[in-house]
Amino acid sequence: MNITNEERQTLINLANEARQHAYVPYSNYPVGASIRTKSGRIYTGVNIENAAYPHTMCAERVAIFKAVSEGETEFEVIAVVTNNGGSPCGGCRQVMSEFGLDTVVLIADGEGKLQKELTVSELLPEAFTPAHLL
């Protein structure tokens, strides 16, 4: 999939703006995500922490679940922004793989600078997919 520099930066900026709404009273590590579907719609998400830590939800999954709840299951690109350009966690990688190993993943820092661009397949080699359930 070809994505222009302008499209990259727009998605990164949307994810960075979304970070302002992250609920992170424990880690103080705001994460924002924006995902563009194959139909062209964009959804954003933020991490939402919980005092019972295992119930915290990551920004990537929030954006994906918002899209899926609106009937979108085919994604082109997801941008993830953290202060230091941190990579998605294993759980988010697995959720991303459910909806397409070719989805482009943009990882950027809090200044909006792209740190890394790769596919879900590159982010999660040998992913467990629905095909494994057959």
**Structure confidence by residue, pLDDT tens digits, 2-11:** 899 999 999 9
Instruction: Give the torsion sign (CA, 66, 47, 123, 36).
Output: positive
Q: Which of 7, 49, 60, 122 is catalytic?
A: 60
- Residue 58 CB-density burial (10 A; 0-12 exposed, 13-18 middle, 19+ buried): buried
pTM, rounded to two decimals: 0.95
* CA–CA distance, 104 with 108 (Å, rounded to integer): 13
90-98 and 59-69 helices, crossing angle to 10°: 20
Tens digit of each residue's pLDDT (9 = 90 or more) over 31-90: 999 999 999 999 999 999 999 999 999 999 999 999 999 999 999 999 999 999 999 999
7 among known catalytic residues: no
- Residue 2, pLDDT score: 85
The reported pLDDT for the residue numbered 134 is 86
Which of the 8 DSSP states describes residue 133?
Answer: G
pLDDT in tens, 105-126: 999 999 999 999 999 999 999 9
Just give the CATH number of 5-129: 3.40.140.10
Sign of CA dihedral 22, 23, 28, 31: negative
What ranges do the domains of the chain cover? Answer: 5-129
